[in-house]
Amino acid sequence: MIRMTTKRKKVYSVFENSNKPINAENILDVLGDENINLSTIYRAIECFINNDLLLSFHFNNKTYYILDNEGNHYHYFICTNCLFMKKINCNMNPIIKKLEDENNFLITNHEMNVYGLCNSCNI
Ligand SMILES: [Zn+2]
Ligand SMILES: [Zn+2]
């Protein structure tokens, strides 16, 4: 089980209260007066990732993170303008079956994010 120090709990709560992907600097901004520096945040993030609590992805040369601790398998739609994010159910099974058959390959895992413009940004 993960060891939750006070500082890690504070970092984790920022993820819990965010409805969009955030990076380490965003967390630093939110926790500005909490005596937490960037390296503490990065160590906390690394710990959360190792414990399968966070999903990371690269966007605009930065690494963003979202809480993904429900144990279920999802994909994400991410708006490239406002970083709006929405979980999408996985419909990959038929494609994966086909890939396995065609390539004689046992697929055990896959990742996919979908990028585009959300309803508010697509005007
Ligand atoms: Zn948007
Ligand atoms: Zn999937």
CA of 27 to the centre of ligand 2 (A): 28
pLDDT of 1 reads 66
CB-CB contact of 21 with 35 (8 Å): no
Ligand nearest to the CA of 109: 2
Ligand nearest to the CA of 116: 1
pLDDT of 113 reads 86
pLDDT of 106 reads 93
pLDDT in tens, the chain (123 residues): 678 889 999 999 999 998 889 999 999 999 987 789 999 999 999 999 998 899 888 888 889 998 887 777 888 899 999 988 888 888 888 999 999 999 999 998 888 889 999 999 998
CA of 118 to the centre of ligand 1 (A): 4
pLDDT of 14 reads 95
Ligand nearest to the CA of 20: 1
| Cα angle 40, 55, 90; round to 5 | 170
Among 34, 66, 40, smallest CA distance to 53 is for: 66
| Cα angle 117, 89, 75; round to 5 | 55
CA distances from 82 to 28, 61, 74, 115 (A): 19, 16, 21, 11
CA distances from 50 to 41, 46, 69 (A): 14, 6, 12
pLDDT of 39 reads 93
Q: What's the pTM? A: 0.74
CA of 48 to the centre of ligand 2 (A): 21
Domains and CATH numbers, the chain: 6-67 (1.10.10.10), 74-116 (3.30.1490.190)
